[in-house]
Amino acid sequence: MTKTMTDVVCPFCGTLCDDLEVSLSDDGKQILEVYNACVIGTEKFLHSQAKDRVTRPRMRQEDGSWKEVSYDEAVEYTAKILANAKKPLMYGWSSTNCEAQSVGHEIAEMCGACVDNTAAVCHGTTLIAVQDIGIPSCTLGEIKNRADRIIFWGCNPAHAHPRHMSRYSIYPRGFFTGKGHKSRKIVVVDPRVTDTASLADIHLQVEQGRDYELLNALRVALNNEWLPDVVAGIPQEKIREVAEVCKSGRFGIIFFGMGVTQSLSKNHNIDEAIALTKHLNEFTKFSIMPMRGHYNVTGSGEVLAWQFGFPYSVDLSRGFARYNPGDTSTIDLLLRGEVDAMLTIASDPGAHFPISAVKQIAKIPSVAIDPHLTPTTGVSKLHVPVAFVGVEVGGNAYRMDNVPIDTRKVVDPPAGMLTDEEFLTKVRDRVKQLKGVK
């Protein structure tokens, strides 16, 4: 008889699906099947079962080879490089639980570190815009039950958030959206014909890098002002038509992704999209929501903001929190040579940062805490493997709409392995000793 565990939470993308079912072997030690999850979610659970998994920390040797070390030795190295640095950087946090993030921030405060999460290369620009002009948002449940105008701007949930459309945004039948897909008009704004775009009632194939102009033109259309014949490759009649489609809905939502947060204009794109949303509220009800990638990048922002007042790129080096992306943001810190030690946790900058920034990681004392072998663990001096959060240990995470959900432990980690939180707690206690903090 296999056992089935219900209401399991998927620790992969920001949709944070909480309806998974997992069947386990008789002894409860082996995951056999994962139900309800999408392909990438299923893969995350099954990956934890890999037989060749690294289960003990490894230190890079002079000759480039790796030597297995104990967790205690790993704690000692990590505590020392952070405590001795003038400006250490603690980056990542997006694929671990809020409990681990909180312990990490204690270390950061004692060491005068910079703390940053993967928003730095993703939705950080969104957070800048939110600080500048605020954000009228809602929960995914409200969208499922009420939204009849859905705009996907620069995002492709068909691939990045596979169950988003069926659970919340396109197909579900909600309280006021009983006809499901038929109750909704879908607008996709993307320079490419993506799989999401193929589901749209209207696809605006905006010119690359001209989202800011198109957003501005929609606001001009709402004000019934003059427009040039073509904006961002879209005829002005089409722009006015989309403005009317938005105005005529009962409840609209703009979902946006990295197509606008990381293309030309960055934070300004989001700033203008939020301004458009506010503007639309003069006519009907409209909301806007970022399609957050990592399952708990939102949580990292929440915990950082709760503890230090800012959601990413926080610089604690002078003993108080400062925040100014461009100065305190990870890639700038690395490229400019502003930091002299780096801890990476629950993310893979080695795969996502510009190569010159990755080279800088290789130059300074560095540790990577990650269950997987990644390009980042490959360039760091020390690799600390840990249990999979959401599979081998539970803990709190925040969905893309800022709803906190407790993830669940499904199986035990391999014998003797620590969790992120356990490892960081040991490092924190050692840093306390080194710094003479009571």
Contact set with other proteins (CB under 8 A): 85-87, 111-112, 128, 131-132, 210, 212-213, 216-220, 222-223, 225-228, 231, 264-265, 268, 271-272, 275, 279, 317-319, 323-327, 336-340
Task: Restricting to residues 114-173, name those near ligand SF4 by CB under 6 A.
Answer: 161-163
Rounded CA separation 83/112 (Å): 9
Contact flag: residue 290 with ligand SF4 (CB under 6 A): no
Contact flag: residue 37 with ligand SF4 (CB under 6 A): yes
Q: Please identify which residue in 40, 46, 158, 227 interacts with ligand SF4, judged by CB under 6 A.
A: 40
Q: Please identify which residue in 12, 323, 398, 423 interacts with ligand SF4, judged by CB under 6 A.
A: 12
Q: For the chain, what percentages of helix, strand and coil (3-state, to nearest 5) are there?
A: 40, 20, 40
What's phi and psi for 167, nearest 5 deg? Answer: -85, -35
Nearest distance from C-beta of residue 44 to ligand SF4, angstroms: 7
What's phi and psi for 55, nearest 5 deg? Answer: -120, 0
Q: Is 88 left (phi over 0), alpha (psi -120 to 50) or beta?
A: beta
* Helix H or strand E encompassing 62: none
Options 8-16, 189-197, 297-305, 364-372: segment touching ligand SF4 (CB under 6 A): 8-16
Contact flag: residue 310 with ligand SF4 (CB under 6 A): no
Q: Are strands 382-384 and 58-60 parallel, antiparallel or unpaired?
A: antiparallel
Options 37-45, 73-81, 279-287, 336-344: segment touching ligand SF4 (CB under 6 A): 37-45
Q: Please identify which residue in 15, 126, 265, 313 interacts with ligand SF4, judged by CB under 6 A.
A: 15
264 interface partner picked from other proteins, ligand SF4, none, CB below 5 to 8 A per type: other proteins
Nearest distance from C-beta of residue 165 to ligand SF4, angstroms: 9
Q: What does the DSSP assignment read for 87-134?
A: SEEEEE-TTS-HHHHHHHHHHHHHHT-EEEEGGGGTTHHHHHHHHHH-
Contact 211, 217 (CB under 8 A): no
Determine the size of the site formed for ligand SF4 (CB under 6 A).
13
Q: Which is nearer to ligand SF4, 287 or 407 (CB)?
A: 407
407 interface partner picked from other proteins, ligand SF4, none, CB below 5 to 8 A per type: none
Contact 255, 169 (CB under 8 A): yes
Nearest distance from C-beta of residue 162 to ligand SF4, angstroms: 5
Rounded CA separation 168/237 (Å): 30
Longest Cα pair distance anywhere in the chain, in angstroms?
70
- Within 10 A of 433 (CB to CB), how many other CB atoms are there? 10
Task: Give the number of residues written for the chain.
Answer: 438
Options 5-13, 126-134, 178-186, 305-313: segment touching ligand SF4 (CB under 6 A): 5-13
Tell me the β-bridge partners of 285.
251
Contact flag: residue 13 with ligand SF4 (CB under 6 A): yes
Q: Please identify which residue in 17, 31, 303, 384 interacts with ligand SF4, judged by CB under 6 A.
A: 17
Tell me the β-bridge partners of 189.
153, 204
Contact 103, 342 (CB under 8 A): no
Q: Which is nearer to ligand SF4, 37 or 411 (CB)?
A: 37
Q: Which is nearer to ligand SF4, 88 or 172 (CB)?
A: 172
Nearest distance from C-beta of residue 296 to ligand SF4, angstroms: 11
Give me the 195-214 binding string for ligand SF4, x by CB under 6 A, dash otherwise.
--------------------
Contact 127, 309 (CB under 8 A): no
38 interface partner picked from ligand SF4, other proteins, none, CB below 5 to 8 A per type: ligand SF4
Contact 42, 13 (CB under 8 A): no
Tokens at 384, concatenated: 């600390």
Nearest distance from C-beta of residue 87 to other proteins, angstroms: 3
Nearest distance from C-beta of residue 194 to ligand SF4, angstroms: 16
Q: Is the dihedral of CA 375, 379, 385, 387 positive or negative?
A: negative
Nearest distance from C-beta of residue 37 to ligand SF4, angstroms: 4
Which residues contact ligand SF4 (rule: CB under 6 A)?
A: 10, 12-13, 15-17, 37-38, 40-41, 161-163
